């Protein structure tokens, strides 16, 4: 049946305010997410609404609060067995290459290396400027083909279950990363995005047609969204070869700016031993924006070298071609230098046996 819903405001205020006259509710509906899922962790107002429909069904719900407030509302006001929409989120991280973005960021650092800017020596600030500029996450959509690994699936993300997670777990968590790179090239940083999940409650699962499981994604390969994606640039890029393994940990720590301090340590593994290490710290609230994209290229026209990354030769036929050439000359060419005449044009008289 088709229902017509009317929403009537009931109480307006911060959900953490003590003594609010809010009853236990059946459903919490919110938009509790920010950039990279967790930014703006305690921002916004919470409202209690009474949902009325024409058939006379009355259900209370809470809406519009950020993630920690969302969890607070769950613990204080949600009835046992109640529903939360969204019910969870998944963070994805992957290495990316973008020489243009890295060079553009480095150009901002170069300004502070000037020793005579209208008579002022800025160079003493250059080191701190480099640290600060590279600690600013870059917000914006990017071409997913700049990723150095296949786009992670839902099984390879860091999942946060909003129905069970605690506020302490949200304030401090680590995301282990492990990547096998597809291309030879330069890793300029770590890209991130997220999904939010709308999962039916146990009583809804009996009718998967009416109550399907829904995923809304901010992936670079999906339609653009308000949250876009995040790129965390490394001050010192990492050179990798196709097939090599990169592993490490990305740490999220809540800060007093209603956001997170993100630190990462990654290492390139060769023969089971860490050969190169890179690390940096970013402040998720100190965002900069970049909307530059490569000229549109269709999948049929695109080649990895457009992003300055290079696949193994055997993946593009190169190694196979070399093998075919070598097989066409099964016997080695031998030069008999004893038969070379002692003349200026001796090279033209070389005989092969």
**Active-site annotation holds for 169:** no
**CA-to-CA distance for 149 and 245, rounded, in angstroms?**
10
Q: Is the peptide bond before 26 cis (omega within 30 degrees of 0)?
A: no
* C-alpha span between 135 and 260 (Å, rounded): 12
Helices 99-111 and 126-134: angle between axes, nearest 10 degrees: 150
Distance CA 167, CA 7 (A): 29
**Is 31 labeled as catalytic in the residue annotation?**
yes
Tokens of 202: 């146990």
Distance CA 129, CA 255 (A): 21
Among the listed residues 31, 151, 276, 283, the single catalytic one is 31
What residues are labeled active site?
A: 31, 40
């Amino acid at each position: 049946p088709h229902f017509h819903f009317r929403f009537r405001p009931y109480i307006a205020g911060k959900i953490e305010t003590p003594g609010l006259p809010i009853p236990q509710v059946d459903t919490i509906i919110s938009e509790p997410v920010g950039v990279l899922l967790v930014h703006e962790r305690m921002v916004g107002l919470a409202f209690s609404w009474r949902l009325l429909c024409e058939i006379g069904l009355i259900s209370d719900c809470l809406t519009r609060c950020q993630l920690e407030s969302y969890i607070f509302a769950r613990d204080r006001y949600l009835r046992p067995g109640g529903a939360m929409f969204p019910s969870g989120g998944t963070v994805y991280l992957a290495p990316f290459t973008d020489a243009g973005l890295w060079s553009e960021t480095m150009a901002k650092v170069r300004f502070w290396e000037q020793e005579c800017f209208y008579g002022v020596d800025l160079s003493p600030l250059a080191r701190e400027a480099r640290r600060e500029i590279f600690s600013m996450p870059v917000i914006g959509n990017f071409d997913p083909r700049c990723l150095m690994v296949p786009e992670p699936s839902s099984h390879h993300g860091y999942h946060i279950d909003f129905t069970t997670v605690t506020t302490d777990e949200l304030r401090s968590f680590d995301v282990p990363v492990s990547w096998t790179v597809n291309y030879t090239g330069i890793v300029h940083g770590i890209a991130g995005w997220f999904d939010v999940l709308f999962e039916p409650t146990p009583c809804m699962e009996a009718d998967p047609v009416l109550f399907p499981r829904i995923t809304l994604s901010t992936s670079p390969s999906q339609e653009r969204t308000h949250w876009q994606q995040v790129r965390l640039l490394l001050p010192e890029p990492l050179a990798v070869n196709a097939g090599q393994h990169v592993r490490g940990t990305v740490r999220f720590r809540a800060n007093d700016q209603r956001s997170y301090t993100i630190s990462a340590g990654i290492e390139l593994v060769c023969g089971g031993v860490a050969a190169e290490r890179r690390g940096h710290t970013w402040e998720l609230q100190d965002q900069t924006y970049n909307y530059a994209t490569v000229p549109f290229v269709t999948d049929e026209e695109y080649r990895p070298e457009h992003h300055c990354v290079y696949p193994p030769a055997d993946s593009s036929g190169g190694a196979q071609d070399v093998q075919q050439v070598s097989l066409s000359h099964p016997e080695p060419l031998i030069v008999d230098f004893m038969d070379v005449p002692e003349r200026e044009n001796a090279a033209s008289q070389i005989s092969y046996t």
